[in-house]
């Protein structure tokens, strides 16, 4: 039997020689500075566009304190005026030309740096961590395929689908012959699913008060929460790939969030048509829907919030009339299709609301409206009946909020954590490791 002639397969990448030149033009030291600059920009409340990143990154490399080092650096980036750092990063698989410009590879590279800093301050040996060789979307390969994205694991590349895509593309303009030219857009990979053992839904508060600046570092509550979830998801994929982490962003309504969009989450404000209130019930309801579809035996919801609930769902006229009879001027709200589409387009989030349902809005200073409290507690207890634990992370010094959360968790037999926003990442990572260790120990004792 004759061997395959590998010379008949040729990969022609666009501007391949230029890419090779660019890949040798940035040192590891500067790459780390660039990744840090990307982190600082991605996590901001107002994220810059991709075209603005070039100048921002260039400025980050010209820090006065590093001027001597930069002059000695063999990169000499400034010598080539045509050199584009952002194009280099796109060629290397860190960036993509989209609104949320970090690729999966860029997300994990930066997340790894954050996690490394967190783990330095934690005694991780006691948790028996077992590092995996690579990050991935899942550990079980299925037959369906999707478009390959730079930075994804090349082991899941589907060669037959990729070649077929190349042939179909070329055949539109000319006769396809071998050797064949394969372009990046032709690449296709197998999809994967996770063999789940533990499932956790983190519900992050996106109400308007989460943008408040606290502490000396000038970091907002939402930025601290995003950093914590970023490192936590990296930890999960690196050490516990069989577990599953989901993320929900909630305010007046809730939306499931792609974990890779965590750095780009934004809070709502008064201009977002009543979306800036705080609806615990919406978060609990969507989290329960997600976990009901999951086969894990151990399920948990972790709420990250800085305010008491000020909204809940009204599902029928009876509930609405009951409120109106007590408060005739109550405010009820249902989002219009245009707003739902706007949120989907601008934030990549789909609001979870059933047709015909209203949102009852009632903000009371340092108090919770009785009807909102009733509906919130009812939804939380439904989760509890389904075997879902609920814990709450409080990022506020408001005494009334702490009292409310303690009472809620006492009824649910859950836990409430009052933390400083500056060490939220350490608290969440330590908490996740401790919970996982507890689950592993209980299984070993069966």
* pLDDT at 110 (0 to 100): 94
15 sits in the region (left: phi over 0; alpha: psi -120 to 50; else beta) called: left
β 219-220/311-314 pair status: unpaired
Cα–Cα distance for residue pair 180/32, rounded to 1 Å: 37
Q: Is the pLDDT of residue 445 over 60?
A: no
Classify each residue of 284-314 as buried b or exposed e, where b means 16 or more C-beta atoms within 10 Å of its C-beta.
Answer: bbbbbebbeeeebebbbbbbbbbbbbbbbbb
* pLDDT at 296 (0 to 100): 86
Domain ranges of the chain: 7-102, 140-172+181-193, 198-444
Q: Is the pLDDT of residue 434 over 80?
A: no
Report the predicted TM-score, pTM, of the whole model to 2 decimal places.
Answer: 0.75
Cα–Cα distance for residue pair 373/401, rounded to 1 Å: 13
Cα–Cα distance for residue pair 93/22, rounded to 1 Å: 13
Other CB atoms within 10 A of residue 11 CB: 10
**Among 172-176, 322-326, 437-441, the range of highest mean pLDDT:** 322-326
What is the topology classification, in CATH, of domain 198-444? Rossmann fold (3.40.50)
User: In this structure, are residues 178 and 8 in contact, taking their beta carbons and an 8 Å threshold?
Assistant: yes
Q: Which residues pair with 203 in a beta bridge?
A: 248, 303
* pLDDT at 151 (0 to 100): 73
Percent of the chain at pLDDT exceeding 90: 31
Q: Quick: pLDDT tens for 367-414.
A: 899 999 999 999 999 999 999 999 898 888 788 888 888 898 888 888
Q: Quick: pLDDT tens for 207-257.
A: 998 988 876 667 888 998 999 999 999 988 888 888 889 999 999 999 999
CA atoms within 13 A on the CB side of 279: 31
Q: Which residue has the higher pLDDT, 423 or 163?
A: 163
Which spans in 364-423 are helix H?
370-385, 399-412
Q: Quick: pLDDT tens for 115-155.
A: 888 887 775 444 444 344 444 455 445 567 888 887 777 77
Percent of the chain at pLDDT exceeding 70: 80
Q: Which residues pair with 330 in a beta bridge?
A: none
* pLDDT at 156 (0 to 100): 80
As a whole number, the mean pLDDT across the chain is 80
Rounded to an integer, the average pLDDT of 410-438 is 77
Other CB atoms within 10 A of residue 133 CB: 7
**Largest Cα–Cα distance in the chain?**
86
Q: Would you say the C-alpha torsion 60, 20, 108, 148 has a positive or negative sign?
A: positive
Q: Is the pLDDT of residue 19 over 70?
A: no
* pLDDT at 142 (0 to 100): 55
Q: How far, in Å, are 31, 34, 260, 299 from residue 197 at the CA level?
A: 36, 36, 21, 9
Other CB atoms within 10 A of residue 326 CB: 10
Q: Is the pLDDT of residue 261 over 70?
A: yes
**What is the pLDDT confidence band of residue 80, given thresholds at 50, 70 and 90?**
low
């Amino acid at each position: 039997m004759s061997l395959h002639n590998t010379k008949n397969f040729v990969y022609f990448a666009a501007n391949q020689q230029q890419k090779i030149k660019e890949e040798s033009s940035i040192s590891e030291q500067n790459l780390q500075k660039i990744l840090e600059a990307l982190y600082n920009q991605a996590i901001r409340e107002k994220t810059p566009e991709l075209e603005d990143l070039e100048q921002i990154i260039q400025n980050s490399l010209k820090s006065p304190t590093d001027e001597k080092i930069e002059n000695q650096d063999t990169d000499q980036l400034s010598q080539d005026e045509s050199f584009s750092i952002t194009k280099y990063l796109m060629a290397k698989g860190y960036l993509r030309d989209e609104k949320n410009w970090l690729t999966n590879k860029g997300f994990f590279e930066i997340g790894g740096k954050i996690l490394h800093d967190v783990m330095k301050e934690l005694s991780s040996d006691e948790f028996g961590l077992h590092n995996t060789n690579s990050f991935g979307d899942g550990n079980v390969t299925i037959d369906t395929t999707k478009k390959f994205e730079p930075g994804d694991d090349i082991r899941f590349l589907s060669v037959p689908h990729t070649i077929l895509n190349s042939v179909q593309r070329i055949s539109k303009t000319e006769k396809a012959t071998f050797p064949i030219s394969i372009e990046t857009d032709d690449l296709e990979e197998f999809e994967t699913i996770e063999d789940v053992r533990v499932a956790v839904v983190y519900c992050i508060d996106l109400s308007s008060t989460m943008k408040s600046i606290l502490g000396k570092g000038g970091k907002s509550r939402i930025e601290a929460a995003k950093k914590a979830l970023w490192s936590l998801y990296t930890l999960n994929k690196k050490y516990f790939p069989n577990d599953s982490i989901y993320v929900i962003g909630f305010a007046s309504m809730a939306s499931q969030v792609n974990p890779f969009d965590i750095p780009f989450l934004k809070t709502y404000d008064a201009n977002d048509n009543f979306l800036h209130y705080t609806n615990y019930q919406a978060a609990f309801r969507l989290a329960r829907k997600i976990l009901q579809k999951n086969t894990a035996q151990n399920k948990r919801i972790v709420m990250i919030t800085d305010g008491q609930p000020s909204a809940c769902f009204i599902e029928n006229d009876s509930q609405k009339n009951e409120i109106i009879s007590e408060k005739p001027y109550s405010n009820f709200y249902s989002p219009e299709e245009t707003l739902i589409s706007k949120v989907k387009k601008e934030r990549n989030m789909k609001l979870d609301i059933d047709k015909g349902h209203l949102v009852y809005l009632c903000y009371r200073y340092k108090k919770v409206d009785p009807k909102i409290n009733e509906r919130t507690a009812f939804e939380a207890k439904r989760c509890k009946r389904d075997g879902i634990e609920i814990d709450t992370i409080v990022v506020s010094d408001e005494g009334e909020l702490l009292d409310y959360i303690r009472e809620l968790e006492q009824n649910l037999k859950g836990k409430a954590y009052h933390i400083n926003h500056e060490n939220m990442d350490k608290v969440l990572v330590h908490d996740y490791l401790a919970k996982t260790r507890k689950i592993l120990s209980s299984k070993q004792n069966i």
